[in-house]
Structure 1
Amino acid sequence: MYNNIVLVMPNFNWRVDFDIQKDPPMGLLYIGAVLEKYGYDVSIIDANAENLSISQVVDRIVEKKATFVGISANYSPLNNLAQDLSMKIKKANPNIIIGIGGNHATASDEFMLKNCNGNIDFILRGQGEKVFPSLLDALNHNIDLSLVKGISYIKENQIILNQDAEHIENLDDLPLPAYHLIKMNLYDRYNLVSSRGCPFKCNYCASSVICKKVFYRSPENIVSEIELLVNTYGKKFFWFSDDTFTSNIKHTNKLLDIMIEKKLNIEWSCLTRVNKTNIEILEKMKKAGCKYVSYGVESGDIEMIEKMNKNITLKEVKDALEITKKAGLDMYTFFLIGYPGETMSSVIKSFDLIRETKPTGASFSVVIPLPGTSLWKYLVENNFIDFEKIEWDYLFAKSGKNKYESYSARLASSWCNLTQEELICLCEEGQKITEV
């Protein structure tokens, strides 16, 4: 019987300390909570937060006598780590069943299975809270695997892709994340997921790989999680990790009203879009404890914005930053350099926009191609990238604090009008504009 489940977040700091905030692994926490609800014995190993090596993770898995191990490959740089970990788990105990899930695994299921040498038993596509219990039920009761929606696997040397699982329509049906399964003192802040999915389809973004539309938790459900965290683990900064926090203004308004009414007295931040905000909601956000808002601007060149399918205008950017400042909130802006068609001139326009609007901070990154995105499809079709040749371990925008990853810049230089050196120098220059 497969009743002893261990969920693992691999340690992507193995190569270099990225010096970034540590956030709880929310996907694993939700899956863990659901599996506990079904009566399974669940453990979570966050190798990233604990800075564990692969051998240390394997030792813990063996010690826990796991029968099924679920590994997160939510990010593309986890591809090789997930593969290596699977191989070493199988070497330690070939009877352990291994499943891989997350955004990258969902978009790259055939590639991962093709290259796993039999070490991965299943790819769990889509929302793990839906797929994981169904798979375990099938394994434990000898149900035909072809009936399990959302899994990919190898049978008789053939890769089988089962029908997709349905979305979870009501997120309130999910139990609150199983925070008791991790060491909460290891994390710098709380990570709140108040919605899943994004109504927009930016070409470089992998948000729609798992959720094709937006699903919202009720404001009451979200506030109950805030209260649980504060009452159980104490106050920390909260980060709403939604793709677009204000995608539904009516929903956001109700959430803020309850936060204010209950006098939660927390500090928090969020990410949203310049064309999904207004002065009233920003002022209410500040009253509810918001300290800063992050906006994905991406470029100061309207042609680049249109190429990315951002569906925003430069006027909307300027207006949003102006009213955010007026509301008394700090504002941070994200910019990408190296999208197909990028030139020195288009980057300079991004610099000019920052100098004009004066955000609190501006962060620059080289464009990263992600499986499942329109950008990835374009680059593959035009022979700029190949699944088999990507160096996944180096597919980061940065490699350590304030140091840009040369591999990502080298990739981008093949499809834009800037060299690897120019891309890195421009990112460094853009990063410094608001520091003056």
Structure 2
Amino acid sequence: MNVLLVKPYSKSDHIQPSLGLAYLASSIRHKHNVFLLDMLRLDIRDSSFREYLKQKKYDVIGFQLYTVELEIVRKLLLIVRDISPTIITIVGGPHATVCPEETLKFFGDNIDFISIGEAERNFPLFLDKIENKDRNFSDVPGLGWQENNKININPTVSFENDLDKIGFPAWDLIRPQEYPPAQHGAFFKNFPIAPIITSRGCPIQCSFCSAPIISGKRIRKRSPDNVLEEIKLLYHNYGIREIHIVDDNFTLDKQHAISVLQKIYDSNLGISISFPNGLKVESLDEELLILMKKCGVYLISLGIESGSNRILKLMNKKLTVEKIKEKVELINKIGIDMAGFFILGFPSETKEEIEQTIKFSMQLPLIRANYFNFLPLPGTKIYHELLQNGELSHTDWSNFFFMTAPYAPQGITNKHLRSLQRKAFIKFYSRPRIFLKNICQIKSYSHFKYLLKRFYRWILS
């Protein structure tokens, strides 16, 4: 069968390969003709998508779904239905995993199925059913559908513990060398870039994070040899010169992190490495940081989140302002640049505490800072608490984005929160040392234009 896997366009300015779809493609390509469409990278919108579908006959089309993309995917599903009602449609990803029944209700008759959780094992079974015209889907784990006005949700299977069994993503379908340089953010050191994972899962359960729900509460790892084999493939076959390690929690298992980094160091590939998803601050020690530096790690992103110990405790960060200062000073001593992630507008947070976080971010030796408005992600502990307390009533998922302040704590308006976010960005980056440090890292005119566009979007729009 011809199977099309689609990454929809979205509000994000992070144009990067979808590892989820690439792993999925790898799991089914031995039996089916698989096509990957990254609408964000190709700048394809509704009308162009319609024309794209007319070029080939597809039997099954799957969509990756994040919460903010619900309305976008609904429009795309309508286009599929209009072109050919016989095409089987299925939606998977984070939102379908944490809100399966709500997802089916939202799309209604415009969708056939949803996939819940990691799909490398259940998606091939599902396609076998479709190909054999077997309408009994009760034995396909993690599958959801509506039939006779009844919602059916099959139980999921346990997570795959041995990630080596999953195989590599279908890099030949992704073509990572064709992606723009600034994938995960505004800056990079070398190009082309590819993201990889060395593990899945996180047991920490920060109250605002959905990773344990989506990837599990236990870390599951790839072997260091398997990781290095993929990096070598990317280096030699696709010219990749920078790796972004995007694990849920790379450094929580220190021995695993050391083993992976040592393999990379011994390979003498000379690649640069970054951790754009952020590392757990308290898990970093001198031994690990020195090895990172030797391996080519040039930037560490840190999930600092707040400059208030009270808010850090509410976030279940198991971290204090004093510990953050200690670890940041250590990283600075080793000589690795740092970017900090901060959340503004956490439930019960006051204006004074937000100002405290902004001030704290500027006291740290960071070269970059990202200030995100708090998002009550579906499925998280804080999301359910806000629902129960009647503090969350919005239904406009299309506005559910880090830069739009869809939620604000009591006593602060959404408009005021957004202005505090703008103020934070401007204060941080307008300092001469930080401004010059970042300006000197611009690689090209196209990179400069990208930065201007991002500045306008994040600060002025």
Q: TM-score, normalised by structure 2?
A: 0.87
Corresponding residue of 1:135: 126
2:109 aligned counterpart, secondary structure:
coil
Match for residue 457 of structure 2? none
2:22 pairs with 1:24: no
- Offset at residue 368 of structure 1 (A): 1.1
Match for 2:248: what amino acid? D
For 1:401, the equivalent position in structure 2 comes to: none
**Structure 1 residue 433 displacement after superposition:** 3.9
Q: What amino acid is the match of 2:344?
A: I
Q: How many residues align?
A: 414
Separation of aligned partners in 1, 2:292 and 2:207: 29
Q: CA deviation at 1:60?
A: 2.2
Unaligned runs of 5+ in 2: 182-192, 432-461
Conservation of the 8 A alpha-carbon contact between 1:342 and 1:418: no
Quote the residue 2:450 is aligned against.
Answer: none
Q: Does the 8 Å contact 2:194/2:240 carry over to 1?
A: no
Aligned equivalents of 2:356 and 2:141: distance in 1? Answer: 47
The aligned residue for residue 423 of structure 2 is 429
Give the residue type in structure 2 aligned to 1:27. G
Indicate the residue corresponding to 2:441 in structure 1. none
Distance 1:49 1:284 in 2: 34
| 1:214 counterpart residue number | 219
**Residue 382 in structure 1 maps to residue 375 in structure 2:** no
3-state SS of paired residue (2:44) = coil
Decide whether aligned partners of structure 1 residues 357 and 115 sit closer, same or farther in structure 2, where only a CA change above 3 A counts.
Answer: closer
Aligned partners of 2:338 and 2:365 also within 8 Å: no
Shift of 1:154: 0.4
What secondary structure is seen at the aligned counterpart in 2 of 1:134? Answer: helix
- Contact 1:50 1:186 (8 Å CA) reproduced: no
Secondary structure in 1 matching 2:215: coil
1:293 positional shift: 0.5
8 Å CA contact 1:354–1:433 kept in 2: the answer is: no
Deviations 1:384-403, CA, capped at 9 Å, x for gaps: 224xx4212221122xxxxx
Residue from 171, 176, 193 that aligns with 1:179? 171
Give 3-state SS (helix, strand or coil) of 1:6's partner.
Answer: strand
Higher alpha-carbon deviation: 3-12 or 56-65: 56-65
Counterpart residue number, 1:359: 366
CA distance in 1, matches of 2:227, 2:142: 27
Q: Which residue pairs with 1:239 in the alignment?
A: 244
Kept in 2: contact 1:339–1:416 (CA 8 A): no
Once the two structures are aligned, what percentage of the paired residues are identical? 29
Q: Displacement, 1:349? A: 2.1
Distance 1:36 1:187 in 2: 26
Contact 1:97–1:121 (CA under 8 A) maintained in structure 2: yes
Is 1:170–1:216's contact at 8 Å kept on the other side of the alignment? Answer: yes
Match for residue 289 of structure 2?
282
The answer on 1:304 being equivalent to 2:308 is: no
Give the deviation of 1:307 after TM superposition.
0.9
Residues 186-227 of structure 1, C-alpha deviations (whole Å, 9 max, x = no match): 342311111111121011111122222221111111111111
Larger RCO, structure (CA 8 Å, separation 6 or more): 1
User: Structure 1 stretch 345-354 or stretch 333-342: which is displaced more?
Assistant: 345-354
CA deviation string 1:402-435 (max 9, x = no partner):
xxx2xx2xx322x333222321222122223432
Give the secondary-structure state (helix, strand or coil) at the position aligned to 1:345. Answer: helix
Task: State the distance in 2 between where 1:332 and 1:167 align.
Answer: 32
Alignment match of 1:152 (pick from 138, 144, 147): 144
Kindly provide the amino acid, as one letter, of the partner of residue 251 in structure 2: T
Deviation at 1:318, TM superposition (A): 0.8
Say which SS state the counterpart of residue 305 (structure 1) adopts.
Answer: helix
Tell me which residue corresponds to 1:402. none
Residue 134 of structure 1 and its aligned partner are, at CA, apart by 1.6
Instruction: Describe the shift of the 1:412–1:143 C-alpha distance in structure 2 as closer, same or farther (beyond 3 A).
Output: closer
Partner of 1:417: 411
Which among 245, 260, 274 is matched to residue 255 of structure 1? 260
Q: Using the alignment, how far apart are the partners of 2:358 and 2:180 within structure 1? A: 34
Distance in 2, Cα, partners of 1:195 & 1:252: 10
| Residue of 371, 374, 379 corresponding to 1:372 | 379
Check conservation: 2:175, 2:238, Cα contact below 8 A.
no
Q: CA offsets per residue over residues 77-110 of structure 1, 9 Å max, x none?
A: 1111111111210111000000000001111221
Per-residue CA deviations over 1:247-303 (Å, capped at 9, x if unaligned) read 111001111111111112111111211111101101110100100101111111011
**Which position in structure 2 is the counterpart of 1:41?**
33
Counterpart residue type for residue 267 of structure 2: K
Calculate the aligned-residue CA RMSD, in Å: 1.6
Whichever residue aligns with residue 203 of structure 1, its letter is: S
Whole-Å separation in 1 of the counterparts to 2:379 and 2:262 = 37
- Using the alignment, how far apart are the partners of 1:236 and 1:261 within structure 2? 16
Unaligned runs of 5+ in 1: 399-404
Under a length normalisation based on structure 1, what TM-score does the superposition of the two structures give?
0.91
Deviation at 1:143, TM superposition (A): 6.2
Q: Which of 220, 224, 229 lines up with 1:224 in the alignment?
A: 229
Asked if 1:104 corresponds to 2:95, the answer is yes
Report if aligned partners of 1:302, 1:314 keep a CA contact under 8 Å in 2. Answer: yes
